């Protein structure tokens, strides 16, 4: 069993639950010895307040066993930051061994007990594909009409942050910064959905030909 430490009531005035030893100790003192994992560290609030280079080590020190790192950051970089946290004394080898023990125990349990009583059928898989293919949700402020009119052409809007726009798109890892090649994205979209209009926001992406 895993426990997401983001879902605890606020009991620590200094740290969010994912970085709070006080919060995680409450779970452990209740007898829970399973895996504890963090909330996503892609949230800007925690990144700005605690700095990405520090939060992974802080999370392990607090008692988490698994980190959900910032998806915008390549895995190799996250690993390097965590290694530096350890070398700088953010958490001990004993704490690391404890986390590894729990993760390995969870993996072993899963391998022995894994059962999928309701495997996905071909019909289920096609339904999921159709949802991704056919649906778009326009989220607006209350009372504001979504500005998606203007023609009968189907439209797909690809929205990215300015932070992502400034990242190295040549990074080989399969992370956000490795996927933002507008020309390739547009080519793939047009091959899958002939006749679909494709717009990229912010417009900075048009410098690569779209």
DSSP for 42-67, please give it.
T-HHHHHHH-HHHHHHHHHHHT-SEE
CA distance 189 to 110: 38
CB 98 within 8 A of CB 31: no
pLDDT at residue 33 greater than cutoff 50: yes
Helices (H), 30-160: 44-50, 52-62, 75-87, 93-113, 122-134
- Please choose, from the candidates 8, 124, 105, 112, the residue with its C-alpha nearest in 3D space to the C-alpha of residue 66: 105
206 — pLDDT class (breaks 50, 70, 90): very low
Count of beta carbons in the 10 Å neighbourhood of residue 72: 16
pTM across the whole model:
0.56
pLDDT at residue 172 greater than cutoff 50: no
CB 62 within 8 A of CB 85: no
- pLDDT-above-90 percentage for the chain: 33
Structure tokens at 187: 């080519």
pLDDT at residue 91 greater than cutoff 60: yes
pLDDT of residue 30: 92
Count of beta carbons in the 10 Å neighbourhood of residue 179: 14
DSSP characters for 30-42? TT--SEEEEEETT
What is the mean predicted confidence (pLDDT) over 41-55? 87
- Please choose, from the candidates 64, 56, 41, the residue with its C-alpha nearest in 3D space to the C-alpha of residue 87: 56
- Please choose, from the candidates 82, 116, 80, the residue with its C-alpha nearest in 3D space to the C-alpha of residue 100: 82
Count of beta carbons in the 10 Å neighbourhood of residue 173: 13
């Amino acid at each position: 069993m895993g426990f997401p430490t983001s879902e605890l009531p606020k009991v620590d005035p200094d740290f969010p639950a994912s970085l709070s030893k006080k919060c995680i100790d409450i779970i452990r003192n209740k007898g829970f010895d399973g895996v504890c994992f963090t909330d996503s560290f892609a949230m800007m609030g925690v990144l700005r307040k605690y700095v990405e280079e520090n939060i992974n080590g802080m999370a392990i020190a607090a008692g988490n066993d698994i980190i959900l790192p910032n998806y915008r950051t390549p895995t190799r970089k996250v690993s390097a930051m965590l290694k530096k946290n350890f070398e700088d004394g953010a958490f001990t080898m004993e704490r690391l061994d404890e986390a590894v023990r729990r993760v390995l125990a969870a993996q072993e349990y899963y391998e022995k007990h894994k059962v999928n009583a309701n495997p996905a059928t071909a019909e289920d898989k096609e339904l999921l594909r159709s949802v991704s293919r056919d649906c778009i949700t326009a989220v607006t402020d209350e009372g504001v009409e979504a500005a998606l009119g203007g023609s009968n052409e189907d439209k797909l809007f690809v929205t990215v942050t300015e932070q992502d726009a400034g990242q190295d798109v040549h990074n080989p890892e399969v992370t956000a910064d490795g996927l933002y090649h507008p020309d390739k994205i547009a080519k793939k979209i047009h091959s899958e959905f002939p006749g679909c209009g494709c717009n990229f926001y912010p417009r900075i992406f048009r410098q690569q030909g779209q």
